[in-house]
Amino acid sequence: MTAARHTDDGVVDSTDDDGTDDDGTIAGSSTPNPNPNLVPGPRSVYGFLEVLGRAARRDALELAEVDSEPIVDAAARIAAARIAAACSAAGQDAEDVGAVDLGALARECGAAVAAVQARTCAVWPSFPPVGAVSWTGFGAVIPVLAGSPGAGASCVAAALADVAMSQRCTLLVDADDPDRSGLVCATSEDGPWTRTTAITADGQVRVRVRYSWRGDPGRGVLLARAETSLPVFTPGMCPAPPDWLPDPAPDPLHLTVVDLGYGGWRAAASPLYGPGAWLRAGHPVQRPVLVVRASRPSLRQAEHVLARLADWVDAGAATAVFQLVVCGARKWPPGIAGTAGPRIRALLDTAVFIPHDPGLAADGVTADPSPARVSAALRPLLTSWGVLK
């Protein structure tokens, strides 16, 4: 597998760690490597994972750890199944069968990340990190950030979009990993419209955005959700904000609500990468919403999410959280608010409470409209921001 190594004199050594050069020949000879994707038999679990990581970086030399780790995990998971199957089949070499497939799979995943990142560099000012970007064309932008896993961020994002759609053209972006999305059942059926956001060098479409109607077609909320043909979706596969817009985009588009997903933790790590790009400081200024539960564990975790984002906000690269929303309660239980950290404490006075709804708690977001009590709690918020009249 290819592993570009920097030597002491700054020269990049392009010899593969499987003993071959970049052109597939065996290092030090003119003998072609019969299978460049063949992973040599590792001597330990750690060696096995390292080989998969090198395979992922073969066509993506700048692959970040946040992407390589889930790629390696997915390849290793599939390896276990394939090697077990090969072991049970007479006359097959389990190591070779598993290794060939895995080298190719990890390489394809890395190439998909590289393709999305190349596209991002072309359409979005991701670097340098300091400096405002333009949110013109998105309408009012409301990124919804989970303060803790299971806080209800997807429910809040869907409800905000549902409330607005009666008066405003609204786009609901599902920036989460498709396998973990809280909006997976938000439409009754998938729409036929897609936008390709990642084509690898071999011409394969690896990542695209699919558009579906939530509510009446043409009058409801337009839901944009990422899809991939690969067994893993990493943060680096998340399209840049402009690539979530339909082509052509609605004119005018009044509101874009974004479910950032990943339990909030990944999105808060960086406004330069993946779903966190929706928090990038810009004009018009977004109104990020932080969703929590009325519990001490949720508030503790939310404090860490805000701390994770704080340095980016101080540097002018990210927009600070604008609003706290509390799911499943009408008020703070006794003693809970007093345990809030300093960053959460600054948001307590203006917190919006969404009362418990048994159906929403049991089913999550479905294709049905958000419950009336949830919509009623959020409507004054959109009105105060000028989104609704």
Residue 152: give its domain's CATH number. 3.40.50.300
Shared-domain flag, residues 338 and 265: yes
pLDDT at res. 94: 54
Whole-number Å distance between alpha carbons of 102 and 107:
8
Q: Looking at the structure, tell me whether residues 91 and 60 fall in a common domain.
A: yes
Are residues 317 and 280 in contact, defined by beta-carbon separation less than 8 angstroms?
yes
- Residue-wise pLDDT tens for the chain (389 aa)? 333 333 333 323 333 444 333 433 333 334 454 555 544 556 678 888 888 899 999 999 899 999 999 999 999 888 888 777 777 765 555 555 545 466 888 999 999 999 999 999 888 886 666 667 999 999 999 999 999 999 999 999 999 999 999 899 999 999 999 999 999 999 999 999 999 988 888 888 999 999 999 988 888 899 999 999 999 999 999 999 999 999 888 889 999 999 999 878 889 999 988 999 999 999 999 999 999 999 999 999 999 999 999 999 999 999 999 999 999 999 999 998 888 999 999 999 999 999 999 999 999 999 999 999 999 999 999 999 999 98
Q: How many Cα atoms are found within 13 Å in the side-chain-facing hemisphere of 345?
A: 5
Residue-range definition of the domain harbouring residue 97: 5-123
Tell me what pLDDT residue 338 has: 86
Cα–Cα distance between 383 and 277 in angstroms, integer?
26
The answer to the question of residue 291 being in a domain is yes
| pLDDT score for 90 | 53
217 located within any domain:
yes
Confirm whether 85 is domain-assigned.
Answer: yes
Cα distance between residue 256 and residue 139, in whole Å: 6
Q: Is 97 helix (H, G, I), strand (E, B) or coil?
A: helix
Task: With respect to residue 108, please indicate whether it lies within any of the assigned structural domains.
Answer: yes
Q: Check whether residue 178 and residue 251 sit in a common domain.
A: yes
Angle at 114 between CA 192 and CA 12, to 5 degrees: 170
- Domain edge (last residue) among 123, 144, 170: 123
H or E stretch covering 310: helix 296-314
Q: Considering the entire predicted model, what is its pTM?
A: 0.86
Dihedral sign computed on CA atoms, order 330, 336, 342, 344: negative
Per-residue confidence (pLDDT) for residue 251, from 0 to 100: 85
* Cα gap 29→16, rounded to integer Å: 13
Do 228 and 317 share a domain, yes or no? yes
| Whether residues 274 and 354 fall in one domain | yes
φ and ψ at 82, to 5 degrees?
Answer: -70, -40
* Exposure b/e, 8-32, CB count within 10 A at least 16 = b: eeeeeeeebbbebbeeebeeeeeee
Same domain for 109 and 227?
Answer: no
Structural domain contains residue 389: no
Question: Of 59, 93, 123, which closes a domain?
Answer: 123
Report the domain count for the chain: 2
Examine the domain organization and report whether 118 and 167 are in the same domain.
no
Query: In this structure, are 87 and 138 located in the same domain?
Result: no
- Does 157 lie in the same domain as 70? no
Residues 113 and 138 in one domain: no
Question: Are 93 and 150 members of one domain?
Answer: no
Helix/strand/coil for 115: helix
Looking at 123, 145, 175, which one is the last position of a domain?
123
Please tell me whether residues 196 and 235 are part of one structural domain: yes
